[in-house]
Amino acid sequence: MTDVSTPSLDLSQSTPEITRQICDIESVSGNEGALADAIEAAVSGLPHLEVIRIGHNVVARTRLGRAERVVIAGHIDTVPLNDNLPTRWEEIDGVDYLWGRGTVDMKSGVAVQLKLAVELTDPRVDITWMWYENEEVSSELNGLGILAAARPDLFEADFAILGEPSNSQIEGGCNGTIRIEVRTFGTRAHSARSWVGANAIHAAGPVLDVLSRYEAAQVEVDSLIYREGLNAVGISGGIAGNVIPDECMVHINYRFAPDKTADQAIAHLEQLFGAWDITVVDRAEGARPGLDAPLARAFAEAVGGTPKPKYGWTDVARFSALGVPAVNYGPGDPVKAHADDERVSVQQILDCEVGLRSWLQADGEARAVGAADGAGAEAGAGADADAGTVR
Pairwise CA distance, residues 239 & 244, whole Å: 8
Domains of the chain: residue spans and CATH = 15-173+287-387 (3.40.630.10), 181-284 (3.30.70.360)
Q: Which pLDDT tens digit goes with each residue over 46-89?
A: 999 999 999 999 999 999 999 999 999 999 999 999 999 999 99
pLDDT of residue 305: 87
Are 88 and 24 spatial neighbours (Cβ–Cβ below 8 Å)?
no
Which backbone phi and psi does 307 adopt, to 5 degrees? -60, 145
pLDDT of residue 374: 44
Are 249 and 237 spatial neighbours (Cβ–Cβ below 8 Å)?
yes
Residue type, 370: G
Query: Which segment of 109-113, 252-256, 280-284, 386-390 scores lowest on mean pLDDT?
Result: 386-390
Q: Which pLDDT tens digit goes with each residue over 200-254?
A: 999 999 999 999 999 999 999 999 999 999 999 999 999 999 999 999 999 999 9
User: Would you call 139 helix, strand, or coil by DSSP?
Assistant: helix
pLDDT tier at 6 (50, 70, 90 boundaries)?
A: confident
pLDDT value at 366 more than 50: no
pLDDT of residue 372: 43
Q: Write down the mean pLDDT value for the chain.
A: 91
Q: Which pLDDT tens digit goes with each residue over 253-272?
A: 999 999 999 999 999 999 99
pLDDT of residue 3: 52
Q: Which of 135, 246, 247, 351 is catalytic?
A: 135
Compute the residue count for the chain. Answer: 391
Q: Which pLDDT tens digit goes with each residue over 106-160?
A: 999 999 999 999 999 999 999 999 999 999 998 889 999 999 999 999 999 999 9
Q: Which of 77, 126, 133, 158 is catalytic?
A: 77
pLDDT value at 376 more than 60: no
Q: Which pLDDT tens digit goes with each residue over 306-352?
A: 999 999 899 999 999 999 999 999 999 999 999 999 999 999 999 99
User: Would you call 217 helix, strand, or coil by DSSP?
Assistant: coil
Mean per-residue pLDDT for 157-165?
Answer: 97
- Report pTM: 0.84
pLDDT value at 389 more than 80: no
Are 308 and 220 spatial neighbours (Cβ–Cβ below 8 Å)?
no
Pairwise CA distance, residues 329 & 15, whole Å: 15
pLDDT tier at 4 (50, 70, 90 boundaries)?
A: low
pLDDT of residue 139: 85
HSE-up (13 A, CA, CB side) for residue 96: 20
Pairwise CA distance, residues 53 & 153, whole Å: 14
Please say if 135 is a catalytic residue. Answer: yes
